[in-house]
């Protein structure tokens, strides 16, 4: 099988490619990524020489160039991780979220139609449902997104479903809760707390710290996406939950305790506008239909995550300074390719 993975140099994309190549060594993968501030080519540098893995720098919104890539690679399936993903950035600068997360998905859908793709999997989020006080959202719950990020993802989900209803495009959608693990850019809560704790810097807690997120270890999400791609029912949406709900302050205190860092670093700051109080997903559909459930406990996942960041301080440093871009330039010039 030939699979295009978009956004493969980001957090989940990187973990997914690592998981997927190991699980399916006979598959060919083309990773297409724009390498925004969140995309890091260094993440997959050990795959450079593999014959079944290729990388091309491109923007999913660039229809002409994407068409050339599809024509050359002739993919059977497309998995779309490419997105602008940080809620805070979507509040201060929403336009790029609309472009990549909605129009970019439209570009991919058109290409999938033109090239007769057998499966398009859109990686979506629990944030499309909005906040829930009690109980959990199921796949047919109403979408009430709160942030421009969540709204752009909800819009994309609508577009993906419309291409299935109207054109019979074989699509699948996954909606996942908060992922954590290696390679996550340190603007998101867990790597930010680790980074600041290691540097003895203040840890900003939005509002009263009582907002609830459901945490899933990234490899469990990768396994679920792989199962949905291979066994999911075309045209369907699958929630992927961690079944590990925690308040932000609980998460922060757990991290500080493991890192043996004093809680005095905790600093309560102004709340995020439109801050969702609680996310919660029912995962009974994926469990019943595909037999999937998360395997990694929070205690084990968080230990693995902290170990990874402590053993990869250069990676952390490079994300701060943009030094990985130098690596990208060297890598590309060695291949004799020009930046698109
Ligand atoms: P990330 O921000 O770490 O990575 C996004 C990647 O997409 C980067 O490599 C970036 O360079 C690339 N990209 C951005 N715009 C692009 C464009 N126009 N063309 C090509 N590539 C582009 O994000 P992540 O946390 O890995 O999330 C991946 C996907 O999973 C996203 O679609 C996100 O909405 C979804 N998701 C994330 C979480 C989470 O907790 N991180 C949870 C649920 C769903
Ligand atoms: O739920 C899935 C979503 O999870 C994904 O779709 C998004 O792409 C991803 O960014 C994430 O969104 P959140 O807003 O939940 O994640 P973030 O790490 O930004 O924040 C987690 C919680 O911690 C949230 O309630 C806000 C709070 N927070 C965050 C930061 C960065 C703080 O209190 N302080 C902080 O400094």
* pLDDT higher than 80, residue 338: no
Catalytic residue at 279? no
| pLDDT score, position 317 | 87
User: What is the C-alpha to C-alpha distance for residues 108 and 15, in angstroms, rounded to an integer?
Assistant: 22
How many CB atoms are closer than 10 A to CB 329?
11
Average pLDDT of the residues in 72-82: 98
Evaluate whether 240 touches 283 at the Cβ level (below 8 Å): yes
- Distance CA(238)–CA(135), nearest Å, equals 17
The bound ligand whose nearest atom lies closest to the alpha carbon of 202 is 2
For residue 322, what pLDDT is reported?
A: 75
Distance 87 CA to ligand 2 centre (A): 7
Task: State how far the Cα of 230 lies from the Cα of 212, in Å rounded to an integer.
Answer: 32
**Where do the structural domains in the chain lie, given as residue ranges?**
2-180+216-240
pLDDT score of 320:
83
Q: How many residues does the chain have?
A: 340
27 has catalytic annotation: no
In three-state secondary structure terms, 187 is: coil
What strand order describes the sheet that includes 2-6?
A: 53-57, 28-33, 2-6, 77-80, 119-125, 171-176, 237-240
Is residue 175 within 6 Å of ligand 2 at its C-beta?
A: no
DSSP letters for 279-319: --B--HHHHHHH-------HHHHHHHHHHHHHH-HHHHHHH
Can you tell me the distance from the alpha carbon of 60 to that of 70, in angstroms, rounded to the nearest whole number?
11
Place of tokens 């990549």: 100
pTM of the entire predicted model: 0.97
For the Cβ of 179 lying below 6 angstroms from any atom of ligand 1, the answer is: yes
Query: Has 149 been annotated as catalytic?
Result: yes
- In the three-class reduction of DSSP (H, G, I as helix; E, B as strand; rest coil), residue 216 is classed as strand
- Ligand 1 centroid–CA 300 distance in Å is 24
DSSP assignment of 21-89:
HHH-TT-EEEEEE---TT--GGGGGGGTT-TTEEEEE--TT-HHHHHHHHHHH--SEEEE------HHH
* Domain at 2-180+216-240, CATH homologous superfamily: NAD(P)-binding Rossmann-like Domain (3.40.50.720)
In this structure, which ligand is nearest to the CA of 10? Answer: 1
Which of 42, 126, 214, 226 is the catalytic position?
126
Q: Is 38 in the pocket of ligand 1 (CB under 6 A)?
A: yes
**Mean pLDDT (whole number) for 42-58:** 93
Is the model's pLDDT at 340 over the cut of 50?
Answer: no
Amino acid 208: pLDDT: 98
Q: What is the pLDDT of residues 91-101, one digit of tens each?
A: 999 999 999 99
pLDDT classification of 327: cutoffs 50, 70, 90: low
* From 178, 216, 246, mutation site for ligand 2 pocket: most ligand atoms within 8 A of C-beta: 178
Residue 197 pLDDT greater than 80, yes or no: yes
Averaged pLDDT of the chain: 95
Q: Check: CB of residue 13 under 8 Å from CB of residue 31.
A: yes
Set 59, 127, 157, 220: catalytic member: 127
- Residue 286: pLDDT over 60: yes
Is residue 263 helix, strand or coil? helix
Give the containing element (helix H, strand E) for 189: helix 189-198
pLDDT in tens, 87-132: 999 999 999 999 999 999 999 999 999 999 999 999 999 999 999 9
State what percent of residues in the chain have pLDDT above 90.
92
């Amino acid at each position: 099988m030939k699979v295009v993975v978009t956004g493969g140099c980001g957090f989940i994309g990187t973990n997914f490619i690592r998981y997927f190549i190991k699980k399916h060594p006979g598959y060919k993968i083309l990773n297409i990524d724009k390498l925004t501030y969140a995309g890091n080519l260094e993440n997959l540098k050990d795959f450079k020489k593999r014959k079944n893995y290729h990388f091309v720098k491109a923007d999913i919104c660039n229809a002409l160039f994407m068409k050339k890539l599809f024509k050359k690679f002739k993919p059977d399936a497309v998995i779309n991780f490419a997105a602008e993903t940080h809620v805070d950035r979507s509040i201060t600068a929403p336009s790029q979220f609309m472009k990549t997360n909605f129009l970019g998905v439209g570009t991919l859908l058109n290409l999938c139609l033109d090239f007769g793709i057998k499966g398009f999997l859109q990686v979506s989020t629990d944030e499309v449902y909005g906040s829930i006080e009690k109980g959990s959202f199921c796949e047919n719950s109403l979408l009430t997104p709160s942030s421009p990020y969540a709204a752009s993802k909800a819009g994309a989900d609508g577009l993906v479903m419309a291409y299935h209803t109207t054109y019979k495009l074989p699509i699948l959608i996954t909606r996942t809760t908060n992922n954590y693990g290696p390679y996550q850019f340190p603007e998101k809560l867990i790597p930010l707390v680790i980074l600041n704790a290691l540097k003895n810097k203040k840890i900003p807690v939005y509002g009263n710290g009582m907002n609830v997120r459901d945490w899933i270890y990234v490899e469990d999400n990768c396994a679920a996406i792989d199962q949905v791609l291979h066994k999911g029912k075309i045209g369907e949406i699958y929630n992927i939950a961690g079944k590990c709900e925690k308040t932000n302050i609980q998460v922060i205190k757990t991290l500080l305790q493991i890192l043996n860092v004093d809680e005095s670093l905790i600093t309560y700051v102004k709340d995020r506008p439109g801050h969702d109080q609680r996310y919660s997903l029912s995962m009974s559909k994926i469990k019943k239909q595909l037999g999937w459930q998360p395997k990694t406990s929070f205690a084990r996942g968080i230990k693995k995550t902290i170990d990874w960041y402590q053993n990869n301080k250069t990676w952390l440093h490079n994300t701060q300074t943009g030094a990985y871009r130098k690596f990208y330039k060297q890598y590309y010039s060695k291949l004799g390719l020009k930046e698109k």
